[in-house]
Each structure stands twice: as structure tokens, then as C-alpha cells.
Structure 1
Amino acid sequence: MLVSFNWLREFVPFEGEAQELGDRLTMLGLELDSIENPFEAIEDIVVGHVVECEKHPEAEKLSVCKVDVGSEVLEIVCGAPNVGKDQKVPVAKVGSTMPDGMQIKKAKLRGVKSFGMICSERELGLSEDHDGIWVLPENLTVGEKLVDALNLERTVLDFDITPNRADALSILGFARETALAFDLPLTMPGLNLVEAGGNAADEMNIVIDDTELCPLYQARILRDVQTRKAPDWMRFKLLALGQRPISNIVDVTNYIMFELGQPLHAFDLDLIEGGMIRVAPAQDGMKFTTLDDMERKLTANDLLIWDGSKPVALAGVMGGANSEMHAGSRNVLLEAAVFRPGTIRKTARRLALPSDASYRFERGVDQIMNTFALNRAAQLMAETSGGSVVSGIAKAEPKPWQDRTHRYRHERCMKLLGLDLEPAFAKKVFELEGCTVDDSDSHDWKVATPSHKLDLEREVDLYEEVGRVYGMDRIPAVLPRVSKSLEGGTVTAETEYGFVRSLKRWGMGAGLNEAINYSFVGDDDLDRLNLPREGRVNIANPLSEDQNVMRLELAAGLLNTLKHNIAQGNNHVRVFEVAKKFVQDSESDTETREQLRLGMLLYGPRHAAEWPWPQGDADYLDIKGHVEHLLEDHFKLGAPECVLVKDHPYLSPCVEVKVGEECVGVMGQVKADVADYYHARKDVWLADVDAEKLWDMTRRNKIAFRELPKFPPSRRDITVIGPVTLPAQQVRDAIAEIKSPLLESISLVAEYVPEGVEEERNLSFRLTYRHASKTLKDKEVDKQHKRVVDELLKKLPVRI
């Protein structure tokens, strides 16, 4: 937010330095970013007086002028058609630098020497006017610097505004903060609106379809206006804040927006049909051309301003090309409204159409100040255009502003802030902010907050105001006392944050390193993974071609991480990433759907070099083990089922991981041609898990506590001899199906293939028996074990 120092002083009599003001407001939460001189580029320009002006002897379109610049009289050759004797003009002397970087030097034009330049407004960067030189007011002092003679702003402060401080998006808002910080009086701009009769409410009917989207809409009508250049004082104020002047009517709306924080819009009344304004949502798929002549495709979530037959503006964002003011406009419909912030924010983001108006609407505007801003704008328009203001206001306010009252307990405030201040200090803070304080109950006040302080929503917000005015930097640093129950005590997976944290904790515990990659990748990365072009979310202004699209899969980032590690000499790569992928979705407000994923990548030796175990490279069992451990042991979802799938874009072989009937992800080996590009010389194993589905299953999965066993187990080993084609899992399942009441667990402990035997193998299982309420005797265990063996021999083609 740019704040003009001189403009600010029109509201508060602050006599200090700009740096002092910036430092104090920074401590109030409005961080000063920089202090600028907006007209520094024309510091060298002086006021000159043309004492003589004659035609150039060798060029019909040139004039030879003698110009008094105070210290000397310069001979200057000028090509402007409007230059003449006795004019006050801006002069760039030899040695000056123009805003476009041009150096003014001695010159010789058609045989006549020239020692400077008489400037136009465009050459000074003040407007686009280049029809001739800029003729200055007669009362200016010859030889004085132009910026001093015109009292142009020398100091503009640039502040960073947090999203909750909608009240600080205007000069008035900063004036309120300055008055609060230095205990100064606040002076509002005067209002002297002259109405010319008639009734605007009779000429224009206001209809609001959805009162939640627009609590207030009102308009004034002006007639017989002249669209022309705004007065210098207004143009220079806007230029100081980086706003390009356009015309008196449009400039007034921008002036009021910067001064009071209320965005306004001026329609050409003669282009408004049906004598009505209707505030209503757009229709899905309809198109609308905005002031920048761009056609926008809208959805039912966008809010429009309609006349009797057509849309005329994108509410809170930008007006329409079919109703804009132009040089021939004579009648004005001036709009002032309050819109639902979330609606404006979504529309501006989805259409990539930020504007000064939407920036304020999406943070909230002062509903009570709305009428004053409308009237002040109408007054300025009438004064600068020669038009007249029709009496009355056309208005619809289905949801009038409701005063907000919060309780305030001073003792509790002091306890939370760690301070010991008198209640009078807090009361003064609230009153300086415009609040009304009822302290009849000394321990429990009632504080009514003003309409411009939208950030004061709860009692604790009042505590924050006391703290920030006292000075956050002055509050002593004391560690708070934290009481934590011994019951629970862990971050649960009920929230997305808790679930993501649980995933990351698992990844680190499993010996994986966390990777954090950009959400941006290149089209080439996605093409290399054989991913479709459809559904990609392209970036409008990419940093580079390598980052011109949002990622469709985490694999792109993980493989680039692998490439970087290999380049740095690390051949033992174990990484995971918890992040989102992005896919086009026409039903979303942003036309983009985000999905949380978990990616894992394994490459190189199974163990790090310092491990004393035999070195073998990671294989399918390693990546499968990680996935099973995550699902079965960490989240207690049971053993997953792995199903071989064909034709995966970048994995071959590829296995689909299913929990029950739901697919939760895939895992497999990265195709050789893809792995080669990333400099992999060994197999690359990768898993991609749908973390959102996993989160949903985790929340639905109720984990019950089972009492720990009190009695000792009894174990029996069994070795079955069967064909090599018989899976060990099938044997395990067959034993489990026998459902022995004492059988607690079954685990495979060994596999043996005798030499010279190719058709058979030995599988050894350990069976654990236990009773919940007594110690088992050998006779009881042997009986159950014999039953298991007998049933197993009947079920499968095996022998013991």
C-alpha cells in the first residue's frame, strides 16, 4: 500500500519525519517496506519564462525561444506548435536527465544552437498528452524547481499490509493509525454536495437477487458532464501513488478509492437499459467482455451487475466494455456497493484478473462509509466536469450493517499479554480506534467496534489491539506455562495436518529422506513419463520452460531428485515426498483440482555402504515392504492385495495396491528408457499412494484396544513339502482357515530347496498357540497342532 505523506497530513497534523512515522506504524503491524520519491525523475526540471519566441529561419515548424530560467536566459529551439511568448513552461537544462533516461545536451538544429528543452507532459512522464508543450500556471516562480513550484509529493511510504487489515487500504485508514499512534486529532474531508432536483430512486431501480452476495448497492446519477482531463492536484496525487490518470470521471473513482478505501465504478448512463440495475450471479459458460477488451468465460459462482437486458460489469472486479465512460459520455451512473469478499476473491483468482478494486472488496469494505464515499465522489465529479447531481440515491440494502459488541475483561487481557497496565490505557486505545466503551462493570466491559475495523471479531482481538498499541516489542519474552494431558497426547489423523505429519513421521522412521520439490515441472518431464496432454494445468507466466506446468504426478519431481543425487555422487537414494498433484477440473472454482499424494523412490544398494551386510541392490520386495509396512503396521488397515497391471505410463512391471476393494496406489520399476534419462544405472523402484484416500480410510478405520496377553505362548514348527508353484501365502491362508481356537499367529520362518530337486521346496512355518485365561499344557497344544496338520494335508497337495 502506497501512502502519500502530504495527503496523509491533510487528515492528521503529523509534523515528524517519514522514517519516524514508518517505524511507529511498523510496530503497530503495518510494516514499512520502503520510502520513495515518486517524482525523482523530474527533479532537474525548472520553471521557465518564454521572453521571446520567433520562427526558426530555416525550418517552418520550429521556433527559436529565449527562456528565462532564473539564473540565466537560454536559447532553446522548440518544435511544439503551441509555444509562445510570455508563457511559463517546464525546462530541462543542459545536463539534466529525462524520465526516459535521455541526457539533455547542447545541440544545433538547422544552424541554430539550442541549450535545453521545453517539455511536454508526456516527456515528463505525467500523462500521455504530447500535442504540445506544457503551459504552466502564471503564478509560478521563474527558476524554481518544478516539483517545488507545483508542490508535488516528495515522499511516498510503501507498506506491506496483512490480509486482515482491510481498514489500512486507504489514506484515511493510515490517518486513523497515525492518530492512534501519536494521539493526534483526525480531520475528515469536507462534503459540500449540491443537488439539482429530481430523484435518482425514481429513475433507477436497484434489485439484488442474493442478499448474501451483496448486502448494499447504491448509485447516484449525474447529468451534463464534460469528460476531460482531471485537475492537476488530483492527477498529481494519483501519479504519486502509481495510478495513471485517465479522465476526470474515472480519476475521481480512483481518487476516492485511495482516499477512503471504497471502490466505485462509473457507468455511461445512456448505455444502461431498462432503468434498472440488478445484482445477480452469472450463468454457467456465458461470456463477458471486460474493460480491457478481453472476453471472459464465467461460471455460476461469478457475480455480475446487470441492467434491464445485459450484464454491464463483473461485480467488484472490472466494468464491462459495453457500458464504459468515453469522451462523448454526458450522463453518469455512479455505483457504490458492498460485496461478499469470498465471491470477489474467487472470481479474481480464477480469471487471473486482480485489480485495486478487487483487492479491497475481497478483504472487506466499510459499509457505513459507503454513502459518504458516494456523495464525495459525486461532488468531485460535478466540480471537475461541470455537471449536475440528481437529488437522492437509488439504493437497495437488504442487510444493513449490524453494530458488533464484544466483551472485554481487562484482567484476562493482562494475563494473556503478560503485562500490568491500567484499565484506562485499554479504554483510551479503544476510543482512539473509534470504539464505544461501556465500563459500568469494571471487570466485564462492553466494547462496540466501528464498521471500518472488520478485524475485530472476538474478545481476543481486543486484547491484540491493546498489545500492539502498547508495543509488541516492549512485551517481555516469557515462556508460557503449557499443561498437557497424559491421555492421548499425539497429533491425530483427524485433521489433514495431523495426517500429513503422521505420514512424514512414518517416512523418517522407515529410513527414508524427505524430498521437497517444486509444484512446477516442464511439459518435457511429463511427456517423458508418457502422461497425457489432457488435464495439464499450464502456468500463464512460467519462470522458465522447465517449470511451465503444474505436476500431474509426484514421479517427475522424485526422478529429478534422483538425478541430482546421482550427479552429486550419492548412489544410495531412499526418498519420499508428501505433496499435491494438480489436474484440470472444470467444476472447481479455480478450474484445478488438487490431490494429496505420497511418493517413494528407492535406488541403489539395499544397505548403505557402512553396513557390514552383503550388498545387494533394492528390488521389488523393498518397495513392497515399505508399502505394506505403511498400510498394515502404521495405519492398521490390514494386508494389501497386489495385482499386476499392464500398460502403465512409466512403470513396468507395475502392481496395483488394493485395500479391500479400493485401489490406494501403484508401485513398480521405472521403465528403462525413463530411468536412463535420469542417469540411473540400476533399477529404480517407485511407489505412488493416494494419500487422500488413505486418510479417508484411516478415519473410517476404528482401532480398538486388545488386552495384552498374560500367559506364555507355546510354539510349534511345521515344515511342508510341496510344489514350487504353490505360494507360501496359500499355505498360510489354509492354516488360518482351520480356525483353531488356540492358534494366535502364523509366520513363515524358512524356505529350503534341496539340491537337484526342481519341482519341490520346503516351507517352514512357526505356529504360536496361546490361551487367554490359563497356561496351556503340552497335551492341549499337541492336540490342536495335530488337528491343524491333518486338515492342512487334506486341503493342499503337500506332505509333512
Structure 2
Amino acid sequence: MIVTYNWLKEFVDFDLSPEELSHRLTMAGLEVDAMEKLGDGLDSVIVARLAAVDSHPDADRLTVCRVETGTDTVQVVCGAKNHRAGDLVAFAQVGSVLPGDFKIKKSKIRGQESMGMLCSEKELGLAEESEGIMILPPGLALGKPVMAALGLKDVRYEIGLTPNRPDCLSVVGVAREVAAMVGAPLGLPKFELVENGDDIRGQSSVTVDEPGLCPRYSARLIRGVKIGPSPEWMVRKLQTVGMRSINNVVDVTNFVLMELGHPLHAFDYNLLRGGRIVVRRAGEGEAFTTLDDKQHVLEAGDLTICDAEGPVALAGIMGGQNSEVQPDSVDILLEAAYFNPATIRRTSKRLGIHTESSHRFERGADVNMARVALDRAAALIAELAGGTIARGAIDVYPSVLAERRLTITARKASEVLGLKIDALDIKQMLRSIGLGCELAIDREDGALYVTVPSFRPDLEREIDLIEEVARLGGYDRIPVTMPVGRSLCHLLPEHQRQVKSARDHMVKVGFSEVINYSFIAPAALERIGLDGQDPRRQMVKILNPLTEEQSVMRTTLVPSVLETVAGNLAYRSLDLRLVEVRPVFCVDPQEELPREKARLVAAMCGRREPEGWAQNGQTVDFYDLKGVIESLLEQFRVGSLVFDSSRSEPFLHPGKSCTLRVGDKILGTLGEVHPRVLGNFEIESPVYLADLDLEMVFSLAQSHPGFSQISKFPDVYRDTALLVDESVSAADLFEKIQGVKSKHIENVVLFDVYRGKGIPEGKKSMAIRVRYRSLEKTFTDEEIQAAHGRIVATLCRELNAEIR
């Protein structure tokens, strides 16, 4: 928001210096981003009179002027054509420095001496473009600085307002704050509205089909106006606040917008079909061309101002070409309305149109200012453009918006601000900014009842009023205190502790955690080979995805992890240990929301050991990842684990993968990624991957088994090599040994598997080592032989094994 020092003084009588005013505004929460002194440094540009204007003897396009300054008469050579003897002009004396660091010097132009320069508006920084020199109004005193003589010596403030302060998007709004600072009354602009035309109700009407989106719509009719340039004072005022002059009628709407903060719009009444206004929603796909000559396709949620046949304006945003005020317009229908902020914000953002009008309506205009602004603008149009104002105004306001009533207590304000504040002080401060405030005589806690006016839509709760007290009293009065904190210790929920434990374990064994987006592309499941019947194909779609690559919630972590592996390999990071522990989102036909399940996917590739002179160059294989997963499940004490090679996943290599299960409970899968899948991700080296259902793991996790006594007696080993069928697995051996009831078996290890010379076709040799120990005594050789004999006999009988 841009305001000027002189404009503020029209409404408030104050003696603050420009610098002090800037500081006080900032301290009141209206931060001054920039302060510019208009006309500063131009005191040497003075009012002068042209005593004579003669043609240059040696140049047809130049004139030689005799310039009276009030104390002297000098000669100046000028290249303009719009001046004549007797005109008052802006004369830059020798030594003057004009905007752009242009210094005026004594010179000779085509043989004629020139003792200064006659300035144009552009050269003085008063306009972007100008034709000819600046001709001043008559009656100004000679020798007086031009900027002071024209009232243009001013200070411009650019205030950075927060979105919750729409009340300060006007000169009057900022003046209200200044009045509160200095304790002076606020004066509103005075005007006389003369209604000397026919009654407006016989000439026009307003129908509001959407009162929820447009609670109030007011209009006035001015007939017989003459469109033309605005007077100099209005042009200057608009320029000082960054607006350009268009014509007298449009300038009035912009002037009142900046003065009172309420947007208005002027329609050419004779271009309104049916001469009436209808406020309705746009039709879906309806086309509309705005004043900036851009065509927009509207949606059903957009609010439009229409005549009898179609849209003539986007409500609260911009008018249309089909009702624009033209140079030959003679009748004006003037609009002042209040629109629902959310509606204007939604349409403005969707169409990419941001205007001074939409800026104010989006933040919340003052519904009660609509009629004031309408009458003020109508009076100014009649004054500047002539015409007659129709008797009466159309004011459609079916449901008056009630003012909010809040309560504030001195006790709460004192506690929050750390100050001792009296209820009477609060009352005085809140009243100074236009809030109604009365002591609550029915309460004993220093409470006040506060009536919030319609120009303060941001005040909704007691804490908002306390903020007003803080800034009006001065933020610098609030004492500096150290924050008081409390240390709270809360245990994480069990599920979160288990997820954290799984994550920590994987990091402990050398894996790096990766975090990918929970959104993937639907085609990602095709890359890992899932068929159309796989339940993971049922995915939750994002209503408004950023890209197609992130349009569904993932039901598996595998594509994301393989994408991460591929990216790392592309950057020559070849030895990878990656893990992702994140939820997946599975559609449940019985539930409205998807089920969220924690899963763990780990991937390994590259060297088994770090590169170095003492390390071998072997690469990881299936058993490296199998050992990692076994250690993870061992941490959760998941027992009776079976690696079932008879079934797997389509993205894993058949014959080099397996399913992990406990009984009929599936924990996940493990194995080498299928070459076809690797090709889909442009991965050329083998990758080993494990995909675990952590929810199932947690459900099978067992409590700590407790502690047992350490034996003080020595252990005894027995090794046995068995010839078994090729189909017999190590798990089969361990299962049978476990079935031999012996409390003295401490450990069983498979330490050798051999196929080759001396081993019959279809057979293999498996060597096991069994360790025995007792808590009560040292075993004799006979006892060990008997115990080990039972194990060997069981294996020979149930697995058709033979001792080698």
C-alpha cells in the first residue's frame, strides 16, 4: 500500500516528522518498506515567467526565451513548441541536478547563450512521458520552488501490509492508525451529493442470484457525463500512489479506491443490455473478455456481473470490454459491492488475474463502506465530468451482516504481554482505532465487551484484541524475558518403537536408509512385472497430482528402491547397501480409507568387502542378504523361520529366490532381482533384494526369553559327514535334529557341503557339527556317543542318510 504524508494530513492533524511517522507506523505493525521524498533536491527548479519567446536565428526548431525569475531575467534556449510569452514555467537554474543525475550547466546552443533549462514533467520525474515543457497554472509566485508551489513536495511511504490488515489498504485506513498514535480525531472526506435526475428505479434494477457470494450490491446512475482528462490535482494524487490517469470517470473510481479502500466499477450504461444488472454464477465453459483484451474460459464457481444477456464483469476482479467506459460514453452506472473473499480469491488465482480490486476483496472489504464509497464517487463524477445523478440508489442488502462482539480481560492481556495493563487503558486504545468498547459491569475480572466494526474482519478472538493492545501500546514496551521450557519424557508407542528398532538394526549392519516419495506412477508396477490380477494393482489415486509420475499412492516399495539403486549406479556408486522402511497404502474394499502397512525393502549389490589391498574382490550374493534378514528377525525373536524356495515374486529370479514364512504366515520374499526387471531399470549388475511385511514380523515377535545360567563345565563337539539325497536341505537336517529331545545340545552347525568325486549321482555330502554341554557335570565319552548316536540314527532313518 502506498500513501503520502500530505494525503494523510488531509484526514489527521499531526506534527510528526516524515522520519518519525515512518518509525511510528512500523512500530504499530504497518511496516514501512520504503520512504521516498518527492521533489527532494529540486528547490533550485523555480516558478518563472516567459517574458518573450523568439525564434532561434540559426535553428527552425528552437526558440530563444527571456525568462523572468522574480529577481533576474535570463536567456534560455528551448526545443519545445507548446509555450508562449506570458506562460509560467518550471525553470531549472544553472547548477540544478534533475532526476537521473542530470546537471544543468551554462551553455551555448547554436551560437545562443542558454542560462538554464525549461523543464517538462518527465524531466522532473512527475510523469513517464510528456509532450513539451510543463506549463504551470497562473497565479503562482515567481521564484518559488515549483514542487512546493504545486503542493508536490511530499513524502511517499510504501507500507508492507500483512494479509490480515485489509483495513489499511486505503489512505483513510492508514490515517485511522495515525490518529490513534497521536490521539487526534479522524476526519473523513466531505462531499455534497446532489440528486437532480429521475428516480433510478424506473431506469435500472439489480438482481442478486447468489446472496451468499454477494451479500451487498449497490449502484447509482449518472447521466449526461462528458468523458475527458482529469484535473491536475487528481492526476498528481494518483501518480503519487503509483496509478496512471485514464479519464475523469475511471480516475474517480481509482481515487476513491485509494482514498476509502473500497473498489468500484463504472459501466457504460448504454452498453448494458436491458439496462440492468444480474449477479450470478458463470455458466460452465462460458467465455468472457476482460478489459485487458484477454479471453477467459469461466467455470461454474466463478461469480460474474451480468446484464440482461450475459457477463459484463468478473465480480470483484475486472470489468469486461463489452461495457467499458468509452470516450463517447454519456451515461454511467456506478457499482459498489461486497463479495465473499474466498470466491474472489479462487477465481483470481485460477485465472491468474490480480488487480487492486481483487487484492482488497480477497482480504475482506468493508461491507458498510460500499454506500459511502458509492456516494463519494458519484459526487466526484458529477463535479469533474458533469452530468446529473439519478435520484436514489439501488442497494440490495437482504441480510445485514452482524458485527462481531468479543470479550477481553485486563488480566489475560497482562499475562500474555507481561505488562500491567488497566481495563481503562485497553478501552481507550481500542476506541482510538474505531472499535466499540465498554466495561462489563456484570463481571469483576476487568472484562470489556468489544464491538468489532466491519472494516476489521481480522479480529475474531480475544488474542487478536490483545495483539491490538500490544501494537497500540508499543511493542518496545513489552519486557524482554527468557523463554520457560519443560522437559517431557514420553515413550514412543509400541509400533513406532518396533519400526525404529528395525530401521536402527539395518543401519547398524551397514545399510544406508533412503526415503522416497509415497507417490509413484501407475506404470511402475509394470516395470517390476506384477500381473493385472495382483492386488497391489489396486492403488489410491491422487485427486490433483503434480505429475503423472506421482499420481498414485504406492502399494510396494520395490520400484522406488530399484529406482534409487539405478540412480546410484549411474553415478558410479557401485557397492550399495540400501534400505527403505516406509508405509504402503493398500486398498481395502471394506473400508473407506486405505490400510497403511509398514514394510521394509533392502537391496544389496557390488563388493562384499570395501576395496583395499587386504580384501578379496568377491561380490555379494543371496546368502549375504539372507544373513542380514536372519539377524533382523533374530532381533525380534521370530522363531521357526522357513525359507521356502517353492514360491517367490515375479520381480525375483526363479531358482534364486524364496519366500520367508513362519508356519502359514508369510513374512516376505528374498532373492536376486529378475534380469528382465533389472533391464527395465537399466541396471546391468546383479541386485539382491528383500521385501518384508513388518506388520507380520511385529505380530510374530516374541518377548525376551530371559536369562539362563552359564555352564562351568567344558563343551564337547562331534562332527559327522552324511551322504544324503540332493533334495535334502540344511533346514531338513536342523528340523530332524531339533526333533531329537536333548537338553544338552547347545548348537548345531552345517560346516561343509560337498559334491563331486566319490559322491554318487543325485547325492551330496553334508557335514554337521553338534556341540554338547551340561550345567551339572562333565560328559563322559560314552554319554556323548550315546547322545550323538541318537541324532545320527534319526537322520539315517527319516532322511535316508548314510554316514560317509
Give me the TM-score of the superposition, normalised by structure 1: 0.66
> Which residue type is aligned with residue 362 of structure 2?
E
> In the alignment, what sits opposite 1:351?
351
Q: Does the 8 A contact of 2:723 with 2:763 survive in 1?
A: no
Query: 2: CA distance between counterparts of 1:348 and 1:472?
Result: 35
What is the SS of the residue equivalent to 2:92?
Answer: strand
- The alpha-carbon distance between structure 1 residues 20 and 127, as it changes in their structure 2 partners (threshold 3 A), is closer
Q: Which amino acid aligns with 1:209?
A: D
Q: C-alpha separation between the residues in 2 aligned to 1:625 and 1:301? A: 60
Instruction: Please give the per-residue CA displacement for 1:302-359, whole angstroms capped at 9, x wherever unaligned.
Output: 2211111121111111111121122222221111111111121222222222111111
| Correspondence for 1:450 | 453
| 8 Å contact from structure 2 (residues 514, 578) kept in 1 | yes
For residue 2 of structure 1, what is the amino acid of its counterpart?
I
Listed as ranges, the matches of 1:616-635 within 5 Å are none
CA contact (8 A) 2:512 2:577 kept: no
What SS does the corresponding residue of 1:143 show, helix, strand or coil? coil
The 10-residue stretch of structure 1 (218-227 or 507-516) with the greater mean CA deviation from structure 2: 507-516
- Which region of structure 1 is more displaced relative to structure 2, 95-104 or 296-305? 95-104
Structure 1 residue 256 corresponds to structure 2 residue 256: yes
| 1:347-496 correspondence to structure 2 within 5 Å | 347-439=347-439, 440=441, 441-443=443-445, 444-478=447-481
1:298 aligns with 2:298: yes
Q: How far 1:393 sits from its partner (Å)?
A: 0.9
Is 1:282–2:285 an aligned residue pair?
no
Instruction: Verify: 1:146 aligned to 2:142, yes or no.
Output: no
Q: Report matched runs for 1:192-231 at 5 Å.
A: 192-231=192-231
CA drift at 1:480 = 6.0
The letter for the 1-side match of 2:462 is E
Percent identity over the alignment?
A: 36
Residues 622 and 313 of structure 1, relative CA distance in 2, 3 Å threshold: farther
Superposition pairs for residues 14-53 of structure 1, below 5 Å? 14-40=14-40, 45-53=45-53
Q: Tell me how far 1:205 sits from its aligned partner.
A: 0.9
Change in Cα spacing, 1:506 to 1:371, as seen in structure 2 (3 Å) is: farther
What is the alpha-carbon distance in structure 2 between the residues aligned to residue 721 and residue 38 of structure 1? 102
Segment drifting more, 215-224 vs 755-764: 755-764
Map 1:499-578; keep pairs closer than 5 Å.
511-512=512-513
Aligned AA (1:448): T
Comparing 73-82 and 400-409, the one that deviates more:
73-82
- Residues 710 and 289 from structure 1, CA distance in 2 versus in 1: closer, same or farther, beyond 3 angstroms? same
Aligned-partner residue type, residue 459 of structure 1: E
One-letter amino acid of the structure 2 residue matched with residue 228 of structure 1: G
Residues 552, 51 of structure 1: alpha-carbon distance in 2 compared, 3 angstrom cutoff: farther
Which secondary structure does the structure 2 equivalent of 1:252 belong to? Answer: helix
State whether residues 25 and 31 of structure 2, in contact with CA within 8 Å, keep that contact through their aligned partners in structure 1: yes
Give 3-state SS (helix, strand or coil) of 1:262's partner: coil
Contact between 1:515 and 1:575, CA under 8 Å: does it hold in 2? no
1:196 is paired with a residue of what secondary structure? strand
Paired residue type of 1:461? D
Question: What code does the residue aligned with 1:467 have?
Answer: A
- Could you tell me how far 1:108 is from its partner in structure 2? 5.1
Q: Deviation per CA, 1:599-654: give whole Å up to 9, x if none.
A: 999999899999x9989999999999999x99xx99xxxxxx96549xxxxxxxxx
* Greater Cα offset, 279-288 or 163-172: 279-288
C-alpha displacement of 1:463: 2.0
SS of alignment partner, residue 371 of structure 1: helix
1:405 Cα deviation from its structure 2 partner: 0.6
2-structure distance, mates of 1:296, 1:80: 45
In 1, Cα distance between equivalents of 2:96 and 2:215: 54
**Which string of whole-angstrom CA distances, capped at 9 and with x for unpartnered residues, describes residues 511-543 of structure 1?**
558899xxxxxxxxxxxxxxxxxxxxxxxxxxx
1:39–1:154 contact (8 Å) kept in structure 2: yes
One-letter identity of the residue aligned with 1:221:
L
CA contact (8 A) 1:620 1:668 kept: no
- C-alpha contact 1:669 1:685 (8 A) present in aligned 2: no
**Aligned residue runs from structure 1 range 641-652, under 5 A:** 644=651
Superposed CA deviations along residues 412-456 of structure 1, whole A, max 9, x for unmatched, are: 332333332211111112221222223212424321111111111
Deviations 1:194-236 (A, max 9, x none): 2213222332211112112111111111122222222222221
Distance 1:343 1:77, change over 3 A: same
Which consecutive residues of structure 2, in runs of 5 or more, have no partner in the other structure?
A: 518-545, 551-559, 583-599, 637-647, 653-665, 668-672, 709-721, 736-748, 768-794, 800-804
SS for the counterpart of 1:313 is: strand
Larger deviation: 83-92 or 65-74?
A: 65-74
Aligned-partner Cα distance in 1 for 2:71–2:677:
80
Indicate conservation of the 8 Å contact 1:507/1:513, yes or no: no
- The correspondence of residues 708-723 of structure 1 with structure 2, limited to 5 A, is 709=703
What is the match of residue 170 of structure 1?
170
Q: d(CA) in 1 for partners of 2:22 and 2:495?
A: 44
Secondary structure class of the residue paired with 2:195: coil
SS of 2:51's equivalent?
strand
Query: What is the CA-CA distance between 1:182 and the residue it aligns to?
Result: 2.7
Q: Match of 2:330, as an amino acid? A: R
Mean CA deviation greater in 297-306 or 122-131: 122-131
Shift of 1:508: 10
Instruction: Determine the C-alpha separation between the residues in 2 that align with 1:250 and 1:624.
Output: 79
Comparing 38-47 with 371-380, which one deviates more in the overlay? 38-47
> Structure 2 vs 1, CA of residues 232 and 750 (structure 1 numbering), >3 Å: closer, same or farther?
farther
Instruction: Tell me the CA shift for residue 243 of structure 1.
Output: 1.3
SS in 2 for 1:181: helix
State the superposition RMSD in angstroms. Answer: 5.7
Over 3 Å counting, the alpha-carbon distance change for 1:762 and 1:160 in structure 2 is: farther
Q: Counterparts of 2:259 and 2:436 in 1: how far apart (Å)?
A: 25
Q: Supply the distance in 2 between the matched residues of 1:485 and 1:329 (Cα, whole angstroms).
A: 73
AA in 1 matched with 2:468: E
- Asked if the contact 1:409–1:445 (Cα under 8 Å) also holds between the matched residues in 2, the reply is yes
> What is the distance in 2 between the residues matched to 1:109 and 1:79?
10
Structure 1 residues 448 and 109 mapped into 2: Cα distance closer, same or farther (>3 Å)? same
Q: Cα–Cα, structure 1 residues 58 and 359, in superposed 2: closer, same or farther, change >3 Å?
A: same
Residue in 2 aligned with 1:595? none
Distance of 1:422 and 1:703 partners within structure 2: 63
Helix, strand or coil at the partner of 1:242: coil
In structure 1, the gaps of 5 or more residues are: 494-500, 517-549, 579-597, 635-640, 646-658, 661-665, 677-681, 688-696, 736-748, 765-788, 794-800
Structure 2 partner of 1:78: 78
Deviates further, 127-136 or 444-453? 127-136
SS in 1 for 2:26: helix
Q: Quickly say closer, same or farther: Cα 1:412–1:98, change in 2 above 3 A.
A: closer
Write the mapping of 1:302-321 to structure 2, written as runs, cut at 5 A: 302-321=302-321
In structure 2, distance between residues paired with 1:458 and 1:709: 52
Quick one: distance in 2 between partners of 1:150 and 1:436?
40
SS at match of 1:322: helix
Note closer, same or farther for the CA distance 1:468–1:619 as it changes in structure 2 (3 Å cut): farther
Q: Distance in 2 between matches of 1:404 and 1:393?
A: 27
Distance 2:71 2:727 in 1: 108
Q: Contact 1:302/1:343 (CA < 8 Å) preserved in 2?
A: yes
- More displaced stretch, 328-337 vs 85-94: 85-94
CA deviations 1:562-594 (Å, max 9, x no partner) are 89x979x9999989999xxxxxxxxxxxxxxxx
Moved more, 328-337 or 63-72: 63-72
Task: State the number of aligned residues.
Answer: 647
Call closer, same or farther: CA 1:66–1:411 in 2, change over 3 Å: same
C-alpha distance after superposition, 1:179-202 (max 9, x if no partner): 222322211111321221322233
Tell whether the 8 Å contact from 2:26 to 2:32 is kept in structure 1 after alignment: yes
Q: Do the aligned partners of 1:751 and 1:762 also contact (CA within 8 Å) in 2?
A: no
SS of 2:378's partner is: helix
| C-alpha displacement of 1:52 | 0.8
